[in-house]
Amino acid sequence: MSCIDPASVAGKAPPIDLTTDLLIIGAGPAGMSAALTAAGHGVRVMLVDENPIPSRTMAEDVPLHFGGRMAATLSNQNAVLERLVDANPRLLQAMDAGVDVRLGTAVWGLFPQHSTAAWLGGAVAGLADTESVYLVRFKQAIVATGRRDMGLAFAGWQRPGVMGVSAAYRLAITYGALEAKVAVLVGSDTEALHSANALAEAGVRIEAILEQSVHVVGSPQILASLTSRGTRVFTRHVVQEACGDNFGVTSIKIVEVDAEGHHLRERAQMLSCDTLLLGIGAVPTIELVEACGCEVSFLAERGGHVPLIDAWQRTSLPNIYVAGDCAGIWPSKTLSDAVASREGRLAANAALSALNVPAAAVEECPVTPDIPVCDLSANRLSWVRASVLGSSTDPTVCQCEEVTAAEMLSLRPPRYLGWTARTSCQEQHEPPSNPDVVKRLTRAGMGACQGRRCREQIAALIALESKMTLADIPLATYRPPVRPLTLAQLASLPESPAMAPHWDSWFGMPTQWVPFWRVPGAYTVATRNSNEPAGGE
Amino acid sequence: MSEPQRSRGAACIVVGGGVTGLSAAWWLAREGVDTLVIEAGPIGWAASGRNGGGCSHHHSPLFREEQRLWPLMDELLGYPTEFQPNRIRIALSESQMTLFRRAFDNAAHQGFRTDILDPKQVRELVPLAGENVHGGYFHHFGGHANPHRTVQAYAWALQDQGGRIMQHTCVEGFDRRGSRIAGVVTNRGAFSCDHVVIAAGPATSTLAAQLGITVPLMTARAEMIVTEPLPLMPVGGVDGNGLYGRQTLRGNLAYGGGPHEWVLMADTPPVRPHSTILQGSIARRLSELLPKAGHARVIRSWAGFIENTPDGRPVIDRPPELENLTIATLSSVGFGLSPAAGRAIRDLVVNGACTFADLSIFKLSRFAALEADWRSRQGWLPIGPGASAVA
């Protein structure tokens, strides 16, 4: 005799009216080309893009490190939307081709079927716009969520005006709403130079480029374009402090460093600027795919942790694909949209074939990354060593929870607990090897920005402490919702009417909470007492 | 953590570095017992680190000791657990008020005090509560602690006492000599021992089976959510309305509850427990419980795999078939009871019986007549293709 545990999730999937065959997340070059490839084949295609992002979300440095440099024009969301559509004519083309295009819509979670999470009976995505939070059932999903910038701590990096270079690019180029006049670029890879050059063309004066290494890392042509506009280059230099007031950065103190990253204090100088562009590492935005269970690995030639994919951009999960920067970042891809577009087409064709659509004959070759020009891990570790560990001030690395590098590496309980070691042996435990351990014990990376500004730095600090490479450090897990949603928003999600009657705080087992003085001796299912109240506590 | 010699053993090997195993190991090490904890992953990585942190288990024979020990734990361990005393349970309806009365009665039976609160009193003590409060209980016992911090505190305190921990080490078998276990075989070598404690959460059943001992268990996945920090309420241990959880000392609301999903052990690690859109249903009930927190942003969700025995009660027992084996599973309610459970396990290992409570209801022998198909009879079945594989 068999039954269904009434307190389990079995049979309680919520009603979800909205269904699509192919969900594409991100309307950049990869997502757009995927959408246009998939359109017109008789399958339902939904293309979502979170831009325009609500200004409140941007103010929290989500999803990019915007550093408070959003211009007031952003508050006119209609004008912003118009600008986005004007700048991307392929959006209208996709709409004309029958694609369900949803702008201003963030995907905060992907919930594919797992053997241990099967109650939804298929793959579901969680979406949110300014009006509502809702669910979509999908068969295949192409994730093309782009990149964000690795953070880098130094004294004063919490000031407005310290921001990611991709964030500045997004504000200036996509939104036309960057509040910056004079900027200094920290980092010199091709990704950073490319963004900075676009900012220069948009009227931002790029005062200087700082590089901790002896050489500029990225494209000499773009560097030449910048220096021809008067940009100065400081190799073997890092930021010692971002100075300014509550309104933001007004100047920075830069300092020369030696080969070990030590600050040569007598070689410090001041530069005037209102903006610091962090460009030490473009990081693939993998939060959705990692959180939903796609296997990821640190691949230096792809810019960091990325989902493992096959020649068709397929991840380890059968119905999830990645394309564009979130599948990997390398110079030739940064310099030409054609690479990301090709990935989008590959993914779309693979998805169509999975949907049993006789796909158009495909001559696309698999996309492979460039051969790396530098040791990505060593480069990022050198930056963190010179900027964070080289600083005499032990700067706060996790801004949300105010945790310094020294506190992270010694796994010190948060300051608000007021704990002090009683004995010396309490100070001498082995250093952490996992960012999630650092997070649990120090709270670093646990804050409202969901670790976007500090997670790569924490991994680097652990690697430096243990003399390992970034590839050796486990990735701190991502968890939905990958965009902050209010309790009230999440609470508005649909729920099966079967959910409430047997809702219980714990397993809903009548026998579990019987007080010990009333527990019978032997237990069998046939003789168990089911008359006790089921509610757990 | 120093790497033990490959051949080196310990007087007592604890298999499982969760909150129960670490507490037991710490209690043993305090006694001067040379103790080694072997953990397949990182310590406290499963349900031990992911739970509501509650310490108010009035139904358990370990309750008195749980209540006695928690206020002492920071001092005893030498590291902060973030323990905070007392608990408020809010009822939003008459039926919830009646259900929650059980805690009042059980605690009173054992000499602990509870005050009944009217809605106004609830709102004074819980500023985030709303007009929908029906009533509440203020328990002058129980409380909550930080699971991550507590797990690490046990581990550090254990090491401070000379105990050892091997993480990322899988137990592959036991060296059994007649009715004794002579050693534990792992992927990093064999370790001799005088006594073995198996406290390995969902894996307890398969490990015990290698010794011919049946521990009936089924594993489930459960979920929690956490919000951004909010101003601290006077009492952080606030729950009710079908939820368990707390406001952390940092100010986050961390709550769980609602239905679980039964899973097959074969599918648990390496597949990590994924949270699902159940977070919407949890958020719905949390925003009913604490309506003034509706604006708070949810920044994370968790899921964990948890084991249960058929009756949901712990097993803490020395099976008579073997001379030197102790088995412990707390059956999904292990965190709060861990100080007392660890001490009880220490007693079983050292003295053969618990010195401070009658643990006869935790004996494995209660399942002697359990039906072979108990899982399907209770409806404890995975969803989907795996379901048919379970008897």
Give B298-332 pLDDT, tens digit per residue: 999 999 999 999 999 999 999 999 999 999 999 99
Q: What value does the mean pLDDT take over residues A358-374?
A: 83
- pLDDT of the residue at A105: 98
Measure Cα distances from A517 to A349, B106, B305 in Å. 65, 10, 29
Three-state DSSP class for residue A59: helix
Q: Note the pTM of the prediction, 2 decimals.
A: 0.96
| A302-356 pLDDT tens trace | 999 999 999 999 999 999 999 999 999 999 999 999 999 999 999 999 999 999 9
Give me the residue label for tokens 């530098």: A374
Q: Smallest Cβ distance to B152: which of A441, A484, A493?
A: A441
A221 touches chain B (CB under 8 A): no
pLDDT of residue B2: 43
CB A339 within 8 A of CB A366: no
pLDDT of B5: 47
Minimal-distance CA residue of chain A relative to B368: A522
Q: Do B118 and B21 meet the contact criterion of CB atoms below 8 Å apart?
A: no
How far is it, in rounded angstroms, from Cα A446 to Cα A32? 33
Q: For chain B, what's the residue count?
A: 391
- Mean pLDDT, rounded, for A56-62: 92
Bridge-based pairing of strands B297-308 and B218-227 is antiparallel
Pick out chain B residues at pLDDT < 70: 1-7, 385-391
What does the DSSP 8-state code read for residue B143?
Answer: E
Predicted ipTM of the assembly: 0.96
Which amino acid would we find at residue B342? G
Strand-strand pairing, A123-128 and A106-111: antiparallel
Q: Are A523 and B303 in contact (CB < 8 Å)?
A: no
For residue A195, give the H/E element and its range.
helix A190-201
CA-CA-CA-CA dihedral for A425, A428, A432, A438, to nearest 10: 70
pLDDT digits (tens, 9 = 90+) for A170-188: 999 999 999 999 999 999 9
Which of A480, A492, A507 has its CB closest to that of B308?
A: A507
Q: Which chain A residues are closer than 8 Å to B377 by Cβ?
A: 1-3, 525-526
Q: Are B101 and B246 spatial neighbours (Cβ–Cβ below 8 Å)?
A: no
CB-closest option in A485, A512, A533 to B298 = A485
Rg from Cα positions in chain A: 25
- The letter for the amino acid at A196 is A
Q: Does A440 touch chain B (CB under 8 A)?
A: yes
Q: CB contact, 8 Å: B371 with chain A?
A: yes
Gap between the Cα atoms of A426 and A439, Å rounded:
19
Query: What are the chain A neighbours of B287 within 8 Å (beta carbons)?
Result: 487-488, 491
The pLDDT of residue A491: 97
Tell me if A321 sits within 8 A of A140, measured CB to CB: yes
| Contacting residues of A for B56, CB less than 8 Å apart | 537
pLDDT tens-place string over residues A391-445: 999 999 999 999 999 999 999 999 999 998 888 777 778 889 999 999 999 999 9
Phi, psi at B250, each rounded to 5°? -80, -20
Q: How far apart are CA A22 and CA A357, in angstroms?
A: 12
d(CA B159, CA B4): 13
SS (H, E, C) A21-60: EEEEECCCHHHHHHHHHHCCCCCCEEEEECCCCCHHHHHC
CA–CA dist A512, B254 (Å, integer): 23
C-alpha atoms less than 13 angstroms from C-alpha of B40 in its C-beta half-sphere: 17
Please tell me the predicted confidence (pLDDT) of residue B387: 52
Across the range A33-45, mean pLDDT stands at 97
- Dig out the tokens for A408 from the structure: 């992270």
Distance from CA of A420 to the nearest CA of B (A): 9
Q: What is the pLDDT of residue A1?
A: 53
CB of B101 within 8 Å of any CB in chain A? Answer: no
pLDDT at B121: 98
